[in-house]
A and B are shown apart, each in its own frame.
Chain A
Amino acid sequence: MIAAVDALAAPSPGLIKAWLLVPFAAAFVAVLMPSLARGLVLVSSLITGLVGIGQLLGGSPLELDLLGALGVSLRLDGMAGWFLLLNGLLVSAVVLEGWMRPPVPLRSMLLLVLQGGLTVSCVATDLVSLYVTLELVGIAAFLLIVLPQSDNTLWIGLRYLLLSNTAMGLYLIGAALVYVQQDSFRMAALAGLPFGAPQVFLLIGLFSKAGLFLGGLWLPRTHAEAPPEISALLSGVVVTGGAVPLLRLAEVDQALLSPIRWVGMASAVLGVVYALSDGDAKRLLAWSTLSQMGLVVLSPLSGGAMALAHGLAKGALFLSARQFTTRQLHSWAASALSPLALGVLWIASLSIAGLPPFAGYAAKKQLDSVLPEPWGLMVLLVSVGTVAVYARLWSVGLQVKPPAPGALPVAWCQWLAFGLLLVPLVLGAEALAPTWKPGIGLITTALVLAAGLLLQRWLRPGQPLPVLERLDQLLGGVVVLGAGLLAGFAGGL
């Protein structure tokens, strides 16, 4: 037992290599022995989550160079810890939630591959390993989307893979340009490079992957139309595959922080505006993901906590979307939810809206404390918008739907699944912000809440906003963003 704790706190290189292989080996076994498959996902998630906790509790960071100086370079540190914990919790919750339903063939195998890919993308610090693992994540996510084989998911999946591969092609051009100038594919090689075409190509690839401004506008429709448990994964962890490298790049090269912040803020605002005007509950959640991912990339110091708080809450909301009686928001206030779905809705949405005592509140306070002044104010305005967005869902009140005659009681595995996601949200605030004191922060939060509620009252459905999600618009958006970044930042803004 003590040896195991030691191994988590100060992992040896051999153990790390073995750990990175676990999900892929488990995926192989899962295909050969389908009866073990879901158990294997749980075991792999447990290991991933434990390694994440080990790093968060102050485990020693580890750098690893495989195959020499030009080979694969990995870094396991506190930053990766947040995302590993999120990955472990969310994937196991998805498996547990569906435990009582007949298994979808091959889904467990794909979950394991997805988990393995995301794990590597959290720790990879060279551009080529990152490319390979992000493509792997893209393929696994695509297959998870299309597995139900309805006509609509086929198109949504195809669109996702087409865009993701195009974005990664541009990313690869960026990687080649970096190599020509620095003779290295490491992220650290970017540090000495003046901002120009190489960085722009890398960034637009990663922005698309992380579901950020313009390149990432594939997100709302994809997340809204995929099956609920896959939406939970997409919104909770798949987008973090693109966000971690952005945070790492911002850490390595200060010059990249400014364009990443502007794009993050643009997504945060755009997401809130569209979430306020959309009439569909799942699309509202998806737009809110776009907005929250924008907040995640604002600072490498708070990105992990924001992503964890958001991923757990959004994952729980999407998982409970199966129990929504209606997705139409105009009849939302008259609908009623089962007690479980109602609890999930309130806890998770209060946390994303940044209200105490939930983890989202602590994460937002941490973000506030690390941002320079004008940014802090903008985040505050986005928070008002976020409160207004979720106030639209709060209109359901506390009406509990009476259980249908003959309905089964909620199974233990469902309690466990939502418990895994919500308990950290309720208890996590203390761990996230140990120095937090009540006072001025609480007053700001109360004002934000009041302003948000007023905004939601005052808004009336008006002109529909332009649709930005057609395939040609998405591809065009990538070009516009790239040109904008070059013009705006290469001059040394």
Chain B
Amino acid sequence: MSAIRLLELLILVSALAGFLGLLLRRNLFLKVLAMDVMGTAVVALFVLFAARSGLRSPILRELPAAAALADPIPQGVILTAIVIGLSIQALLLVVMTQLARLDPSLDVESFDGGSAG
């Protein structure tokens, strides 16, 4: 198995692990952390795809003629997603501090069960 395939597999496994955590954990805080694991896996996926053509950062300075450069487009794109992920994480944590007044154990059931009918 080539290195890139192996990394691809590992990234997909971590995305899946994040999603399963989001699905199965009962604690709200752990759910949000699991969501972040998934988000990080997506970031890694973009970085891996950028490295298909080479590993060197494509910064314009005197480069050796045959340097294998990384693809700058996915790298540039994922920067935005990282920032968005961070801000959403921050917003969720702020709301969670408020919800912790209702149920300090942050069990999803105590919020979801209440008025779900």
Q: Which residues of A contact B (CB under 8 A)?
A: 70, 128, 131-132, 135, 138-139, 142-143, 146, 149, 151-152, 154-155, 157-159, 161-162, 165-166, 169, 172-173, 176, 179-180, 185, 221, 225, 467, 469-472, 475-476, 479
Chain A CB within 8 A of B69 CB: no
Task: Give the CA-CA distance A73 to B84 in the complex, in Å.
Answer: 20
Knowing A173-B45, A176-B46, say if A142 contacts B91 (CB, 8 Å): yes
Contact B92 A158 (CB under 8 A): yes
Knowing A155-B99, A169-B42, A472-B23, say if A162 contacts B31 (CB, 8 Å): yes
Contact A158 B95 (CB under 8 A): yes
> B116's contact among A172, A173, A469, by CB below 8 Å, is which?
A469
CB interface residues, B 48-95, toward A, < 8 Å: 49, 52, 73-74, 77, 80-81, 84-85, 87-88, 91-92, 95
Per the CB 8 Å criterion, the residue count for chain B at the interface is 39
Task: Give the CA-CA distance A132 to B84 in the complex, in Å.
Answer: 8
Task: Give the CA-CA distance A151 to B112 in the complex, in Å.
Answer: 12
Task: Give the CA-CA distance A179 to B49 in the complex, in Å.
Answer: 9
Chain A, residue nearest B93 (CB): A158
Task: Give the CA-CA distance A225 to B28 in the complex, in Å.
Answer: 20
Task: Give the CA-CA distance A81 to B50 in the complex, in Å.
Answer: 36
Chain A CB within 8 A of B32 CB: yes
For A165, the chain B residues whose CB sits under 8 A away are 35, 39, 85, 88
Knowing A154-B98, A166-B22, A166-B35, say if A180 contacts B49 (CB, 8 Å): yes
For A221, the chain B residues whose CB sits under 8 A away are 116
Knowing A139-B88, A161-B91, say if A154 contacts B117 (CB, 8 Å): no
Chain A, residue nearest B87 (CB): A139
For B74, the chain A residues whose CB sits under 8 A away are 176, 179
Contact A155 B39 (CB under 8 A): no
Contact B95 A475 (CB under 8 A): no
Chain A CB within 8 A of B1 CB: no
Chain A CB within 8 A of B17 CB: no
For A142, the chain B residues whose CB sits under 8 A away are 91
Contact B99 A135 (CB under 8 A): no
- Kindly provide the distance from the CB of B78 to the nearest chain A CB, expressed in whole angstroms: 8
> B81's contact among A131, A146, A166, by CB below 8 Å, is which?
A131
A-B contact pairs, 23 of them (CB 8 A): A131-B81, A132-B84, A138-B88, A139-B88, A139-B91, A151-B98, A151-B102, A155-B99, A158-B96, A158-B99, A159-B112, A162-B32, A169-B38, A172-B42, A173-B45, A176-B42, A176-B74, A180-B49, A185-B77, A221-B116, A225-B115, A470-B112, A471-B108
